[in-house]
Amino acid sequence: MGSGVIISNNGIIVTNLHTIIDCNFINVKLHNDKIYSSEVLMTLPAFDISLIKIKASTPLIPIEFGDSNAISLGQDIINVSSSKLWQQTITGGIITGLGVSKQLDGQDIKGIEMIEVNLNLDEGDSGGPLLNKSGELIGMITAKDVTRSRKSYAIPSSKILLLYEYYQKSK
């Protein structure tokens, strides 16, 4: 179980690789409770990012990308996710660290600087969008510090955009 965010009107969704890695099939439930099967388009294990695609009958409304290179400490953020405990939740917080290197499951995520935020996460929140006050995607929630309360990490939107642009060029 995990969260994700629609990044194109033709049904491409970005989520964390660790949320889908051991799945035989992936069903996606949208905010309107419609459920779609999906296919994996591309993964980037070093950054824990996956692109998946659903086949919706009508064009979807994608998230607007914000500039993760323009964020600052203390900036207000919003997280939207659906965990096992709480469905379709919206929580607020602030950016508490920039350029943070982090380990996931004991492995360094090489070449990526994470955004540290003061959010409590539950299982299934990974893959949820981290938004600025304008509702633009500035990151994707990917991990929490299990030793400290309200300390979580997000992959910057600039890394997500790089993978999406690479996928678009490789089609």
Tens digits of residue pLDDT in 144-158: 777 777 788 999 999
The answer on 152 and 114 residing in a single domain is: yes
Residue 102 forms part of a structural domain: yes
Long-range contacts of 57-63 (CB under 8 A, 24+ apart): 59/9, 59/10, 60/6, 60/8, 60/9, 60/10, 60/11, 61/6, 61/9, 62/6, 62/7, 62/8, 62/9, 62/12, 63/5, 63/6, 63/7, 63/129, 63/135, 63/136, 63/137
For residue 112, what are the domain limits? 68-160
Final residue of a structural domain among 63, 78, 108 = 63
Which tens digits make up the pLDDT trace of 51-98?
Answer: 999 999 999 999 999 999 999 999 999 998 876 666 678 889 999 999
The answer on 82 and 42 residing in a single domain is: no
The answer on 155 and 73 residing in a single domain is: yes
Residue 119 forms part of a structural domain: yes
Which tens digits make up the pLDDT trace of 15-49?
Answer: 999 889 888 889 999 988 899 999 999 998 888 89
Catalytic residues: 18, 48, 126
Residue 85 has what pLDDT? 66
Which tens digits make up the pLDDT trace of 88-146?
Answer: 788 899 999 998 775 554 444 555 688 999 997 777 678 899 999 999 999 999 887 77
The answer on 44 and 79 residing in a single domain is: no
Final residue of a structural domain among 27, 44, 63 = 63
Residue 93 has what pLDDT? 95
Final residue of a structural domain among 13, 43, 63 = 63
- What is the number of domains present in the chain? 2
The answer on 153 and 115 residing in a single domain is: yes
The answer on 89 and 27 residing in a single domain is: no
CATH number at residue 78: 2.40.10.10
